[in-house]
A and B are shown apart, each in its own frame.
Chain A
Amino acid sequence: MTCIRKGMFGSILAAALICSVSSACSADDFFRVQVAPILERHCVSCHIGDDAKGNLSLETAATVKAGGDSGPPIVPGNVDDSTLLEMVSGDKPLMPKNAPPLSKAQVEILRRWIKEGAVWPDGVELVDRKFAGQTWWSLEKLTQPPVPKLAENAPQAKWVRNAIDAFIAQEHLKRGVEPAPEASRRTLIRRLSFDLTGMPPTPAEIESFLNDQDPRAYELLVDRLLESPRYGERWARHWLDVVHYGDTHGYDKDKPRPFAWPYRDYVIRALNSDKPYARFVQEQVAGDMLFPGTLDGIEALGFIAAGPWDFIGHAEVPESKTDGKIARHLDRDDMIGNTIGTFNSLTVQCAQCHNHKFDPIPQEDYYRLQAVFAALDRADKTFDADPAVSQQRLELQARQRKLNEQKKELDTKVAQLGGTELAELDKQIVAADRPDNSPLAAQFGYHSSIEPTPDKTKWVQIDLGQSAAIDAVEVVACHDNFNNIGAGFGFPISYKIELSDDPAFQTGVLAITDQTERQVPNPGVKPQHFPVGGKSGRYVRFTATKLAPRQNDHILALAELSVFDKAKRNLAVNGKVTSLDSIEAAPRWRMINLIDGYYYGMGQAARGTLADLRRRRDALLVANVDAETRQTLLENQQQLAEVAMAVARLPAPQIVYAGTVHTGSGSFAGTGANGGTPRPIHLLHRGDVKQPRQEVSPGALRAIKSLSADFDLPLGHREGDRRAMLANWLTSKENPLTWRSIVNRVWQYHFGRGIVETPADFGRMGSLPTHPELLDWLAVEFRDGGQSLKQLHRLIVTSATYRQASTAPRAKEFSLADADNRFLWRMNRRKLEAEAIRDATLLVSGHLNPQMYGPGFQDFVIEKPEHSPHYQYNLFNPEDPASHRRSIYRFIVRSQQQPFMTTLDCADPSQRVDKRNESLSSLQALTLLNNGFMVTMEKYFSESIEAEGSDLSVQVGKAFLRALGRLATPAELDASMAYAKTHGLSNYCRLLLNLNEFAFVD
């Protein structure tokens, strides 16, 4: 029987027919049909495997017999001594833990089974069937319910504007509530503007809407706002919350991630262009595979890499070490949590250590998803934005490959014909051509401090320890490619070399050479030799009187200063170097490099000349290789050079930080060297990298029955095929989660609460939908109606439901049953998010810089960038106009979050934020009152009002209108005037931006 390995359900129909009605069946069948299902459904999910609860596994007869911490649970035939029965029966049974108790009938079955000897048929192994036969709303097939028809005489019937309202009204009727009246036009335009663009309407926009006589004025306003580029900026912020986007890596050191922003720009573009949702999803998971040669198809892959990255765990710890394995495991964990959480609203990460406790996600499915991303790392991905360039590069690379293959063949042929003589010659050429890579090569020499003009005198000198007779002095200049200078770097235009026994060179100074009146041609790295003729001295000083030009500045640098005695011994080697000044930047630059016996190119002479070797080689080829082959070889060389030139002429490729096959060195090697072959993924027992179990294949979640989750990819498939399969699985019309998830998210941002209150969790630990039919209706409407987010917004915001006032006449009464306003008998008042506060402040102050796209503005100063950058927000000047862009363009640091925005509950970029916290605290009050950004903007605000002229009372009224979108009442105006007269308009503007009315939207 197949059920021996696969558990008990389903394949025992025959026995069931006997046992279900009669007690006269065999003991084996009784176990299979009656007992096993109870255990598999209610007990085995915890009592299974190596880490069974209480160390008791109920999988097999043997494990039951072995028992757990409290001994064997069953004594066959003895009901009283069987602890199993004790656990599951009584008033408050201890088992099943955290679940409803077994029914009396079920307990009776267990009792009878034990009484009759607890027969466990040979070979039967139980499996976890906690979720067998159960359904769950979010996993059910998606079908569009009919729009409810309200009775014509129902009070709600006239109120309904579109299908949404019909669903809402139906619930209203059921619950005895009625909708609030429509909000005023003034309220609606402020609500819509913040909702769709993240900013308040200007007084002129309000005025124009209030006076618009067009019966479709509201719809036109909606269209205008949806067409505004500000829309994409607003809604991209919501999306970036969900995918936990940031501009630094997070974790230790928290280094900047300078090319994260192209993904942010992609999201803004995609939303503004109203990209169909399926394509939006597909591009982010596998754009490179499904839409090759497109900019969006690459930049969207920033999604996979959006979250934090453990720099140390990757860059300093190789995959062979445990800590390195953990880092990479957690990295993939973040990728799949991001993917499934964002698009499917399931908590797949709970299945990392064991089967999901609440939802039908086996541990294996979790690792199947890890296998989808197993080839990837987070890294900068270079690409050509222009498809034409991309195509050219591909063609050139193909040509290069072909020519190289031809070259290889030709080389083999030539090597055969040239014999050992050619081989020997080639070896010598390679040796002579090798760049100087001795271990000392990094030690450039001595480097003075930097001067703005060449006329400063600088010296460096050697103390030989005692006075000595000197035969010659040799000096060599440096080689540094800085500013393309190369050989002769830092060698002065005028100089002298002197000898003395006085370290200060005040007395007894002997000139070795004096070039102070000349402009000496730069000698390159050729040693400069000066005979001394046996004169004695303890100190040798090199003095520059006209410094070498560098880059708009001037220096003295020397590679080597040697002092030879008659026996040609270099006395300087044991000396001590001093100088007027020195830049000590080991290993390249430091004073001791002057006497370390090393300088650039010192081995050159010994190697013989390269040109001579090459001439000999050419002669050898003429003698041994036929003319035709030589001609082909020549053409091959020329063509390769041409291709290389053509590649160099292409525009530089672009970069996006993305999930990509990485080719690196050292600890962070990536899979590039293996051609992007995915790392093998094993199921990890208890999520422990030290306990790998069976290897798993890539696949999706099997919980969705209507859709195949097996990829069945052929051997040798590309890594991207896995992601492409997942992208197609996610965007299949048969995947009910994808469509329910996105319409719920959009609904949440409009109303403050989703139809499902837990946007990231559509599982059993999440909330149930308040309006399940509306959710499905919207999901299907969206899925089958072009997947236009803008159309979805339009549908929602033009509904009567959305247009309600946020106060309701019968609020007290209705809140008795629905204090939460879950059934939307009024609009929810919204507290502005951090970005909306900041952007509104910029706009109101007249200082909003509308520049779109590109690298983010940094509202901090970076100190100590070399190790762990210190992001110092307090050192930043808030008057810097570069920072007056919308908050979506802020450079987002993970570890040191922007304090102002964080206090105002902005999203934590280290975690996926599906719904922002909303808090109120004295720290928030302090930051709004005192933060540099706020007070600076308040100053600008008053200046821009004052610039419009007129007297203070008019200015006060204007400021009030601009900040709050309405005219001040006479009483408000009086009080405001009194204040502004005493303390000035700036202080009044500060007051306005701290009002509740500024921070809330009705």
Chain B
Amino acid sequence: MNFNLQHLASRPSRREFLWQAGGGLGGIALAALLSDSGVLSAAGGDPLKLRADGGLHHAPKAKRVVQMFMAGAASHIDLFDFKPDLIKHDGKPSDFGEPVEAFQNGLGPWKKPVWEFKPYGQSGKLLSDTVAPLGAVVDNLAFVHNVVAKTGVHSQATYLQATGFQNPGFPGMGAWVSYGLGSLNENLPTFVVLPDHRGFASNGPKNWDAAFLPSQHAGTMIYPGTETPIADLFPNKRCKFITTAATAEALELMRRLNQDHAATREGDSRLESRIRSYELAAKMQLAAPEALDISKEPAHIMKLYGLDHGVTTFDQEINAIEETDYFSRKCLVARRMLERGVRFVQIWSGNDNGFPRRNWDSHEDIERDHGPLSMGMARGASALIQDLKQRGLLEDTIILWTTEFGRMPSTQGGKGRDHNPYCFTNWLSGGGIKGGITYGPSDQWGYKPLDRDHPTQVYDIHATILHLLGIDHTRLTVRHNGIDRRLTDVHGHVIHDLLA
């Protein structure tokens, strides 16, 4: 049965609504009380009804998404977007041919990429040495080198990439997907977030918030390997009076009392939904720990992810083994989640933009921060793609690598780079994406898109991903405060060149 956990409130109510439309009562009222705007707003978008093929508006190419977010702004020119002119002019005064407004004071001389670039795969795509592990899967990746941000302020730019709007109050992409497509399983959340364990990026959980969508569409934070990987999954430790048996029998007695209560209040299916929610909660208590347990993963898988390093304590200084351990562990957990029907996984690398840097905001020293971070990221991401591929999951799982903006081709203080909101790189992989291609070049410096009139915007990336999931981005809307809101605001074009 494709019963749907996260849509417990909305989906069954929709069904009941349809089922009751002939003779029952309260269907519409119920949906309204649940603020299930998609059902009700006749003028505000289509009613949500999945097609038999699992799409919402057309046949999907993919079912699942992994979004990797490099918080602090990863440098496209040091990782993915090779610029020989920067090597040629390294150290010469930078000249952008126009006045540039830097965020800080990052308009020093041109600075060549910190690492060497080498060709990989059949495509021969040049990758920096610091992301060399991605060479193994480069023919599965589609690079977009002309993505633009609207601002060089971390907070607004992070919101833009995560929610499609620059200010708070909008649902994250995963929340939209959860709202539009529902869950593929009944025991785990639909939208899971693996934050950097050292702290949140700019805006924190607002980046994966449900905002005006019902709260169950918010990303559920998971901290694998910690004492409480999911908040409130088990009784708070402070309380000693609760036993497993006490809970089990309480649930049973509650069900009986709740049913008696509902029997005298006919026509309010919320009461029935709430009874069901406690049953599903119990199932999640069983399913989640199993899904998070990587101890039984075989040695070759641990090796693939670089988790066979055997190191248990890490240096004070940022280092590649530690970063690999953290990022890869999240990737491995992500794979287990995807296998068990989680629809959307968001993996974060980098905490708030403080010090010492454990984020990509390398104003001071690209090599020091980007080196270990990108090595860990590349190892984990490459392993995840290979692992999904060997399990046949890559063909219907989309992977998006993104960050809030890029970094300048000129230096800040010699070793660092300032914000570059004018151009940066995304890459995509997996379900429905054409691998081994590069789309939308940047200019000779990686400063702005080569074709400034036709940059790629986050709306286009979002529209493309929704398209692959079987969603027309212009039709998945929710009316909120008088406006039919959608992930792509009033923008967005599907990038057909990226489609397989």
A interface residues, Cβ below 8 angstroms from B: 250-254, 308, 310, 312-313, 317, 321-323, 326-327, 330, 334, 341, 347, 350, 358, 752-753, 757-758, 760-761, 763, 765-766, 806-807, 811-812, 814-816, 819-821, 828-829, 831, 864, 866-868, 870, 874, 877-879, 894-897, 899-900, 902-905, 908, 910-912, 914-927, 929-932, 935-936, 938-939, 972, 975-976, 979, 982-984, 986-987, 990-991, 994-997, 999-1000, 1002
Contacts and interface: CB of A to CB of B under 8 A. Distances in A.
Contacts, number: 309
Interface centre among B168, B231, B266, B481 (most CB of A within 10 A): B481
22 contacts: A253-B352, A313-B156, A330-B166, A760-B481, A763-B482, A806-B265, A807-B267, A811-B26, A811-B267, A864-B199, A867-B355, A896-B200, A904-B215, A908-B169, A910-B168, A910-B211, A918-B33, A921-B215, A972-B257, A975-B257, A983-B245, A996-B274
B434 to A, nearest CB: 29
Given A908-B211, A920-B273, A935-B235, A250 B241 contact: no
A923 B101 contact: no
A921 B151 contact: no
Nearest to B233: A926
B352 A819 contact: no
Given A252-B153, A996-B258, A921 B277 contact: yes
Contacts of B265: 806-807, 829, 1002
Contacts of A322: 101
Contacts of B113: none
B235 A929 contact: yes
A386 B169 CA distance: 38
Nearest to A975: B253
Contacts of B253: 975-976, 979, 991
A897 B210 CA distance: 12
Contacts of B210: 917
A920 B153 contact: no
Nearest to A866: B354
A252 B218 contact: no
Contacts of A984: 241, 246
A911 B167 CA distance: 10
A688 to B, nearest CB: 10
B247 interface: yes
B98 interface: no
Given A250-B206, A347-B481, A812-B23, 10 more contacts: A310-B156, A895-B206, A908-B212, A922-B277, A922-B283, A925-B274, A936-B239, A990-B250, A991-B254, A996-B274
A932 B234 CA distance: 10
A926 B284 contact: yes
A987 B220 contact: no
B243 interface: yes
Nearest to B271: A996
Interface in B37-62: 43
B67 interface: no
B114 interface: no
Contact of B277 (A760, A814, A904, A920): A920
Interface string B169-212: 10000000000000000000100000000011011111001111
B239 A874 contact: no
Nearest to B217: A919
B29 A820 contact: yes
Contacts of B214: 905, 917-919, 921
Nearest to B260: A972
Contacts of B8: 920-922
B239 A935 contact: yes
A765 B232 contact: no
Interface string B265-291: 111101101110110110111000000
B242 A935 contact: yes
A820 B28 contact: yes
Contact of B32 (A820, A879, A1002): A820
A939 B278 CA distance: 21
A313 B155 contact: yes
B238 interface: yes
Contacts of B151: 323, 326
Contacts of B34: 917-920
Contacts of A902: 215, 218
A868 B352 contact: yes
B238 A323 contact: no
A922 B268 contact: no
Interface in B211-241: 211-216, 218, 220, 228, 231-236, 238-239, 241
Nearest to B29: A820
Contact of B25 (A317, A811, A899, A905): A811
B453 interface: no
A904 B277 CA distance: 13
B284 A910 contact: no
Contacts of A999: 274
Which 3 pairs between the two chains have the least Cβ-Cβ distance?
Answer: A815-B25, A761-B482, A252-B155
A427 B482 CA distance: 66
A832 B211 CA distance: 19
B467 interface: no
